[in-house]
Amino acid sequence: MNNPVAEYLASVKPEAVNTAFLAYLCGLTETAAIAPKIAASIVGELENQRKRVKLIASENYCSLAVQLTMGNLFTDKYAEGMPGRRFYAGNENVDAVEADAAAEARKLFGAEYANVQPHCGADANVLAYWAILSARVEAPALEALGETNLYKLSGAQWQELKRSLGSQKLLGLDYYSGGHLTHGYRYNLSSRMFDVHSYSVSGETGMLDYDAIEGQALEIRPLILLAGYSAYPRKINFRRMREIADKAGAVFMVDMAHFAGLVAGKVFSGDYDPVPHAHVVTTTTHKTLRGPRAGLVLAKQEFAEALDKGCPLTMGGPLPHIIAAKAVAFKEAGRDEFRDYAARIVENCRALAAACINNGLTVLTGGTDNHLILVNVNELDNGSGRITGRQAESALHECHITLNRNSLPGDPNGPWYTSGLRIGTAAVTTLGMGTAEMEELGAIIALVLKAVSPAPAGSKAKYTIEPGAKAEALDRVKKLLDRFPVYPELDLEFLQKAFC
């Protein structure tokens, strides 16, 4: 097509113009004029997402309002500092956007303080860790030296202060129990910043054992007690965790990246809402919260000063165009429809867990309280050997079901091959699917997993899948997705003709 925008406009009556589609079309036309392959890949991604059902627990589909807010001239601005106190001139509008986004975040979560600058969850965690170190370790150390300003320290004092900062204890959920890499995993910066200790889920129930955590915390006396997860299917009692932190003299930090949408949507309230209980809460904004790919830190006022020094502490220039999209997402998450959405995520997840169990799969802890379940695929023996999480993930992807393999507590197959699958319902709930569709998805997943065998025998990555089962699964996924298209506002056929 010479000019896709003109062709589209000529094909519709003015009152029938689809503005979201038109906006996409204009954007892709600009992109294709410079980089046609990039435009084709964007359309290719839509095609891919239309034909594969997304069950990755950490992904979602944000609104087109959020997406379109990201593509604007704010990307050209440098804005180190905080609203009203920048290291560059010309930030009047960035100030307005950032102040609005932070106010929306505070209102949505009932937080005393919000920093909307982190680019992602890992960024938010590094900022939170250093702000806690600054407020609780560095500031008292400076005070003991009769100083408030790092620049006034002698070379020897500065060296001594730096040495002391890395020796504090962090106590978080261990990786195999569902903790995140940034919670002290050996290959992550967090394990170099802190003397890391971990608590695990109970070997009997697969759930957190608060009395055991309390015993550990009182023995270790960490600077930070950290709660939160990437792969734990149950809710956490944050009031109880705060009690433990207080007894141990620790700062209580929560990483709610996975379940921020359930907090915003009031599914997790009272003892299960981390914001009133924790000193510092971090999150991503793109998982259950359904905003742009980015991060956020919420905190009690005590940490505001340290967090406001995020630049130059751990961050450079913020991304004002993404912060604008965060403001849009926070407004969306404050609506009644979002509460309904959050409740349906969990309802769907419970239905999916039941469907998996009814179809003979092993679901850890016997169910879920949140948006994800963990399935132990290593329990299945299809006659020619047990499969790994990696084989299960690949076979399901071949059948157009996208999810990810995951380590399980005490996993004999390690973090690469794994024995588990993590399955989440945030994205399919956005598409409008309900419990009937979860029953169908559970049945299709079981159909595929029961048809997979390691091949050659003993392989942890290669596999065969029985062709009849694969054909049936592909057909059933297609029928499901035909009823629930991703971004129905976008005319895929038109975009393919224009850009592919």
Residues 150-189 within binding reach of ligand DSN (CB under 6 A): 180
- Cβ at position 57, least distance to ligand DSN in Å: 7
SS3 90: coil
- Cβ at position 217, least distance to ligand DSN in Å: 25
- Cβ at position 271, least distance to ligand DSN in Å: 24
- Report how far residue 310's alpha carbon sits from residue 390's, in angstroms, rounded to the nearest whole number: 38
Catalytic site includes residue 284: yes
Catalytic site includes residue 240: no
Say which amino acid occupies 357. Answer: I
Place of tokens 């499901």: 480
Q: Is residue 79 a contact partner of residue 320, using CB atoms and an 8 Å limit?
A: yes
Residues 93-122 within binding reach of ligand DSN (CB under 6 A): 121
With a CB cutoff of 8 Å and minimum separation 6, the contacts of 290 are: 60, 61, 62, 63, 66, 261, 329, 332, 333, 338, 341, 426, 430
| Residue whose CB is nearest to ligand DSN in the complex, by number | 58
- Strands 195-199 and 224-228 turn out to be unpaired
**Contact letters (x/-) for ligand DSN, 287-326, by CB under 6 A?**
----------------------------------------
Residues 339-358 within binding reach of ligand DSN (CB under 6 A): none
Whichever of 181 and 298 has its CB closer to ligand DSN, that residue is 181
Place of tokens 């929306």: 104
**Contact letters (x/-) for ligand DSN, 395-414, by CB under 6 A?**
--------------------
Q: Which of 255, 369, 411, 437 is catalytic?
A: 255
DSSP string, 55-84: --TT-----HHHHHHHSSGGGG----EETT
Place of tokens 């961050």: 315
- Cβ at position 157, least distance to ligand DSN in Å: 37
CA 470 to chain centre: 30
Catalytic site includes residue 75: no
Q: Is 58 in the site for ligand DSN (CB under 6 A)?
A: yes
For the chain, how many residues are written? 500
Catalytic site includes residue 255: yes
Q: Which of 47, 80, 174, 195 is catalytic?
A: 80
Surface-to-core class of residue 402, CB atoms within 10 Å of its CB (0-12 exposed, 13-18 middle, 19+ buried): middle
- Cβ at position 120, least distance to ligand DSN in Å: 8
Q: Among residues 188, 230, 282, 285, which is the contact residue for ligand DSN, using CB under 6 A?
A: 230
Place of tokens 């204890």: 169
Closest CA to 233 of 340, 367, 392: 367
Catalytic site includes residue 78: yes
Q: Is 31 in the site for ligand DSN (CB under 6 A)?
A: no
- Report how far residue 186's alpha carbon sits from residue 182's, in angstroms, rounded to the nearest whole number: 9
Say which amino acid occupies 4. Answer: P
Whichever of 181 and 486 has its CB closer to ligand DSN, that residue is 181
- Cβ at position 390, least distance to ligand DSN in Å: 16
CA 218 to chain centre: 30
**Where do contacts with ligand DSN occur on this chain (CB under 6 A)?**
58, 121, 180, 230
Residues involved in catalysis: 78, 80, 255, 284, 287, 293
